[in-house]
Chain A
């Protein structure tokens, strides 16, 4: 069965700090990978996605993620966070079924 693990449940950073959120998945076949963000009081929004090609994917708001197939990982990064990045971040994977499997989420708090 497919599964997604997000090891960081709660991350607290100061503005301008660098961010890396871990995401590992378990599935041996071809995958589509996603990072979604949920700002306070708002709906889930797509940050970035990987379908194929360049394993380094750039998304909105300065976020990027790297797909490392050998490690079954798709970690999210941002060189310098802002207070407005405070949100819940979800990694999701789709394998050979039609459903998205989400991780439990990482709550990011950025202090000015």
Chain B
């Protein structure tokens, strides 16, 4: 049991729409990372939030944005959805600080389908 939860489980959207995905981090964790996993591929890093600020970003356009709240939960927002955005979106939480890095614990993911 990782303790990381994501909602919703599945989502179907139309091209051009906007979507918000949510993640609750594991108790005691202060960092949330988001990944996109296309079918048959490994997870691709989107961005990370640490103490409510973006702390690193992968090669994703600005229409992918996020938030982290004081309770360390997080949202991933995607605007102007494209067909290629169809994927499993994973959230991972970890405890970071004092120059230390600890392993990330993953949630079950949100399956987004764009039609």
Contact = CB atoms under 8 A, between A and B. Distances in A.
A101 B45 contact: yes
Given A45-B2, A46-B105, 17 more contacts: A4-B42, A32-B101, A43-B4, A43-B90, A43-B107, A45-B106, A46-B104, A98-B50, A98-B56, A98-B96, A98-B101, A99-B48, A100-B35, A100-B92, A101-B45, A102-B43, A104-B41
Given A44-B90, A94-B101, A102 B44 contact: yes
Interface in A1-56: 4, 6, 32, 34, 36, 42-46, 49
Contacts, number: 58
Given A32-B101, A43-B108, A44-B106, A98 B48 contact: yes
Interface residues of A, number: 23
B58 interface: yes
Contacts of B104: 46, 100
A70 interface: no
Contacts of A42: 108
B79 interface: no
A46 B58 CA distance: 22
A35 to B, nearest CB: 11
